[in-house]
Amino acid sequence: MGLLIPKHTAPSLAPTEPVGSPTKQRSVTLRAILLGLLLIPLNAYWVVQMERVRYSAHPTTVSLFFNCIFILVVLAGMNSLVARWGRKGWAFKQGELMLVYSMLCIGSCMAGHDMGQMLVPSLTWPFAQSTPSNNYDALFGRYLPKWAMASDTDATKAYYLGNSTLYTSQHLHAWIGPALIWTGFVVVLLFTMQCINVLIRKQWTENEKLTYPLARIPLQITDHQPGGRGGGLPLVKNRLFWIGFALAASVDTINSLNYYYPAIHPIFTPGNGQSSVDLQQYFSGKPWNAIGWTPASFYPFLVGIGMLMPMDFLFSSWFFYLVWKLETVVTVASAWDADPRMPYANYQAFGAYFLFLASTLWLSRTYFKRVVRCALGQPTDIDDHDEPMRYRGAFLGLAFGLALLMAFSMALGLSWWLSGAFFLVYLALALAITRMRAELGTPVHDLHFTGPDWALTDLLGPRVIGASGLAVFSLFFWFNRAYRAHPMPHQLEGFYLADQTSSRTEMGREMRGWFWVLLLAGGVGMLAAFWAMLHCGYHYGALGKQSGTFGPEAWDRYGSWLKQPKPANGHVALAIAVGFLFAAFLQTMRVRFAWWPLHPLAYAVSGSWEMNLVWMPLMIAWLLKSLLLRYGGMKVYLASLPFFYGLILGQFIPGSLLNIWGIITGTPTYQFWQ
């Protein structure tokens, strides 16, 4: 048994019709591309309204973006009406809808909580918000690359105060340069990651046959669209689906009414607008109060997503969450909490991620040797004609992309060796997250405050990095604060969707089209993110409804590095080593013993902040799935899946509609996801 092949995988949800059958039609069409490009700015505005202006819903903080699923449902419904009215030639094919969906996912990443929303305020904050108390200008003003930032304080003042408009010559002139520079940077970064995805796609998708659990949901929604598989009963004609949909929608409807009429008793909501109860209140004495915020929450859509996950990973996710809580209790009981960062859960998770990556690459070494031989034009049994890019081009593209990223970093002020180390660590984490989603379908993967900027500074010390290098690390904070909306797994899932909906005779052409369209979506998505953030900022005021939460984070950290530079932190290195070795132990046990229930990647994921919100729904999903498999077997479990799809869409669709209504009317609304 291979180290990376899960023993308790979710059952295959593969179509009954052979994947890529000759009857499937083209997905990369001009009309699909134009529709995707039209929707990207509208979607970016919606995301920014939700996550910044209203600070609610937060679709990009979970792996499955409900805004994209909602848009897909609307498009699929309209498409079915067009086909039913006798205009089948006008109706979009399933592959076209999947292309639009993937473009929206990439665009959502760009406008998301951990990317575009961080970037825009960080580019101007140290200039516009420099005060005698923070002393930004004197402390590090000379190290900032003003050519890549928005340093015109007269033009950016209105961004923070609001009651203004982006559409003046002064304001546009202040932002056009930074917007184009950072969009170019993002396109190169996305291109580099897509080249990596090209090199690993065949191994993960065709050789190891990973199930891509999260990609199954958009495929199910569009299953009976023109050109779709149509291998079973459509969701809309399945009674179990509507039961699940009605249950989830009823919960949110009643809670929405409670939001306006408190006399109506909410469901699973303890009267504070939150779908959770903090368990810490029941542990008031030391050392048990060290568990901190421990919400017991109920989110039906997360129960639905959990049902698609492998059993061992599903169990381990909530189990290790409780283990992390126990670690903090032991830390306090043992008086080790003099260091407030103990037990360094984020760095233990960091080490576990790297164990997972190392084992992935090691077990795929034979495949990669064949890929290299193919790229060099040597005899091999591997074929790259149906890949998004030929392997030789992917290797060259990867090298070229890394060179450009390093050159840009050096132009900003980072040394060559730190540039190389930074992007190697970043891409390694990106690859581990991508693998995790493709194999396990985890609903979260945030890894807060553990990116290469944090890790390298903690391991080497601020003095080794230098003031100029730390300035670049602060500029790169926007895409390393957390990885909840990381674009790389969405790219690979896009290739999977292309594989599922393309004709084998057109596979190579289709894949190459998807490659460039997804890259285009990333570039347009970043420009749309800039526009949405600036449009809303100048209108509402970034310090008002948008708040200034994200602006100062990187720069206050930078100031603390300069004012109080600490030596290399040996505890960080030890925590990374502990995480790596413990994950190796878990992996070894998992391979040697079929009964071993603990998954090493759950050990990594469960140490992140977002797991606070999802551990209880995953526990419920594990219990339900265990009962279904034990007493009903695989047949009953598969037959029950429409019910859980109903739970997902039963929250996504009413929640999206309610959110849109709130934005249009300017009124607060109940949010099904906090």
Alpha-carbon dihedral 88, 94, 96, 100, rounded to 10 degrees: 120
Question: Would you state the pLDDT for residue 233?
Answer: 64
Tell me the HSE value of 184 on the side-chain side, using a 13 A CA sphere.
11
Using left for φ > 0, alpha for ψ between -120 and 50, and beta otherwise, residue 466 falls in left
Task: Report if residue 23 sits inside a domain.
Answer: no
User: Is residue 307 within 8 Å of residue 636, measured between CB atoms?
Assistant: no
What is the Rg, in whole angstroms, of the alpha carbon atoms belonging to the chain?
Answer: 24
C-alpha 471/C-alpha 415 separation (Å) is: 12
Task: Report if residue 436 sits inside a domain.
Answer: yes
Tell me the HSE value of 594 on the side-chain side, using a 13 A CA sphere.
1
Name the residue with tokens 């542990």: 283
User: Is residue 667 within 8 Å of residue 259, measured between CB atoms?
Assistant: no
User: Is residue 75 within 8 Å of residue 92, measured between CB atoms?
Assistant: yes
The residue ranking higher by pLDDT, 336 or 16, is 336
Per-residue pLDDT reduced to its tens digit, 243-275: 999 999 998 899 888 888 888 888 876 544 557
User: Is residue 110 within 8 Å of residue 253, measured between CB atoms?
Assistant: no
The token pair that represents 188 in the structure block: 């190169």
pLDDT band at 232 (very low <50, low <70, confident <90, very high): low
Task: Report if residue 291 sits inside a domain.
Answer: yes
User: Is residue 24 within 8 Å of residue 501, measured between CB atoms?
Assistant: yes
Number of domains present in the structure of the chain: 1
Task: Report if residue 159 sits inside a domain.
Answer: yes
In angstroms, the Cα distances linking 119 to 136, 404, 541, 556 are: 18, 20, 16, 15
- Residue 56 makes CB contacts below 8 A (sequence gap 6+) with 50, 659, 669, 671, 674
C-alpha 149/C-alpha 120 separation (Å) is: 9
168-178 average pLDDT score: 97
Residue 140: other Cβ atoms inside 10 A: 21
The DSSP output letter for 421 is: H
Tally: H helices and E strands in the chain: 25, 2
Question: Would you state the pLDDT for residue 8?
Answer: 41
Task: Report if residue 671 sits inside a domain.
Answer: no
The residue ranking higher by pLDDT, 45 or 503, is 45
Question: Would you state the pLDDT for residue 313?
Answer: 96
CA angle 559, 564, 569 (to 5 degrees): 110
- What H or E segment, with its residue span, contains residue 626? helix 611-631
645-672 average pLDDT score: 94
Residue-number span of the structural domain to which 660 is assigned: 30-665
According to DSSP H, which parts of 334-415 are helical? 345-363, 365-375, 391-412
Task: Report if residue 5 sits inside a domain.
Answer: no
Question: Would you state the pLDDT for residue 545?
Answer: 67
The residue ranking higher by pLDDT, 429 or 230, is 429
- What H or E segment, with its residue span, contains residue 276? strand 276-278
pLDDT band at 6 (very low <50, low <70, confident <90, very high): very low
User: Is residue 459 within 8 Å of residue 569, measured between CB atoms?
Assistant: yes
The residue ranking higher by pLDDT, 634 or 2, is 634
Per-residue pLDDT reduced to its tens digit, 308-348: 999 999 999 999 999 999 999 999 999 998 899 999 999 99
204-228 average pLDDT score: 92
Q: Furthest-apart CA pair in the chain: how many Å?
A: 74
Task: Report if residue 378 sits inside a domain.
Answer: yes
